[in-house]
């Protein structure tokens, strides 16, 4: 990962030395965008593991295209095999993806208000099963780098907020509780605060979200039927939604 970053930085610096790259008024030059793709990808795809504080938990294939003059003309990145299970479960000595802790760092307090969250990671079960801090990483600085990377890559303010809201919704998913109905194997919500917050952030109706989890519609043949779910099944569905 580090070697790849160095090679990309080298190509970009050579291109920049040859003259100013094309610059959109609302985003950075091509060279800047290629370099800034890394902090954005690492925020969402890197995490602390037992052996590495900044381990890539996904694969990426980078193509850099050169023009006839030998200068950079474009680039594209394909990502694959993201370790989705980490979103809802971490080992004791490991940590969830950096982006969660960047947001909780309070470097941008307005995000906490917008996402209806506190800055205490232990308030959110999906992200507090392992470590919550990493000595070699300054989450506050990394959040500012991630946010700046979005700007350089050409994200609009609404697009950025949409990304952050999804992260907040995932954190609230982990706090949703369900219980079994008396004398039935059917699950029902045990309170709705976390569901209300996650639904709000996703632009959904809270009742519809809970109904979809507890009574999903499934296709049987050519028809759709409503299926009842037990508590374990609902939690499984909720985890699958968070990882999707």
Say which CATH architecture domain 2-173 belongs to: 3-Layer(aba) Sandwich (3.40)
Q: Is the fold of 2-173 the same as that of 178-243?
A: no
Write out the chain's pLDDT in tens, 244 residues: 677 778 877 877 776 666 555 555 567 788 888 888 999 999 999 999 999 999 999 998 989 888 887 778 888 999 988 999 999 999 999 999 999 999 999 999 999 999 999 999 999 999 999 999 999 999 999 999 999 999 999 999 999 999 999 999 999 999 999 999 988 889 999 999 999 999 999 999 999 999 999 999 999 999 999 999 999 999 999 999 999 9
The class (CATH top level) of 178-243 is: mainly alpha
Query: DSSP letter string over the chain?
Result: -HHHHHHHHHHHHHHHHTSPPPB-TTS-BHHHHHHHHHHHHHHHHEE--SS-TTEE-SEEEEEEEE-TTSSEEEEEEEEE---GGGGT---TT---BHHHHHHHTTSSHHHHHHHT--S-GGG-GGG-SS-S--TT--HHHHHHHHHHHHHHTT--HHHHHHHHHHHHHHHHHTT--EEEPTTSS-EEES-SHHHHHHHHHHT--HHHHHHHHHS-EEEETTEEEE----HHHHHHHHHHHHH-
* pTM exceeds 0.95: no
* Domain residue spans of the chain: 2-173, 178-243
């Amino acid at each position: 990962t580090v070697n790849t970053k160095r090679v990309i930085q080298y190509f970009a610096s050579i291109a920049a030395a040859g003259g100013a790259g094309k610059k959109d008024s609302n985003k950075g030059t091509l060279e800047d965008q290629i370099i800034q793709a890394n902090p954005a990808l690492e925020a969402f795809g890197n995490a602390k593991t037992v052996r590495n504080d900044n381990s890539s938990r996904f694969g990426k294939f980078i193509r850099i295209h050169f023009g006839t003059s030998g200068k950079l003309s474009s680039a594209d990145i394909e990502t694959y095999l993201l370790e989705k299970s980490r979103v809802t479960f971490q080992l004791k000595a490991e940590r969830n993806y950096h982006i969660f802790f960047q947001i909780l760092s309070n470097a941008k307090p307005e995000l906490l208000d917008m996402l209806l969250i506190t800055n205490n990671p232990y308030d959110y079960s999906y992200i507090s099963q392992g470590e919550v801090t990493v000595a070699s990483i300054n989450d506050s600085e990394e959040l500012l780098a991630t946010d700046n990377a979005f700007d350089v890559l050409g994200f609009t303010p609404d697009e950025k907020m949409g990304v952050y809201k999804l992260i907040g919704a995932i954190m609230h998913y982990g706090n949703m509780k369900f219980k079994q109905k008396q004398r039935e194997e059917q699950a029902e919500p045990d309170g709705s605060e976390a569901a209300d917050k996650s639904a709000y952030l996703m632009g959904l109706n809270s009742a519809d979200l809970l109904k979809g989890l507890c009574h999903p519609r499934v296709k049987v043949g050519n028809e759709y039927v409503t299926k009842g779910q037990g508590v374990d099944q609902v939690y499984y569905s909720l985890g699958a939604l968070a990882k999707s």
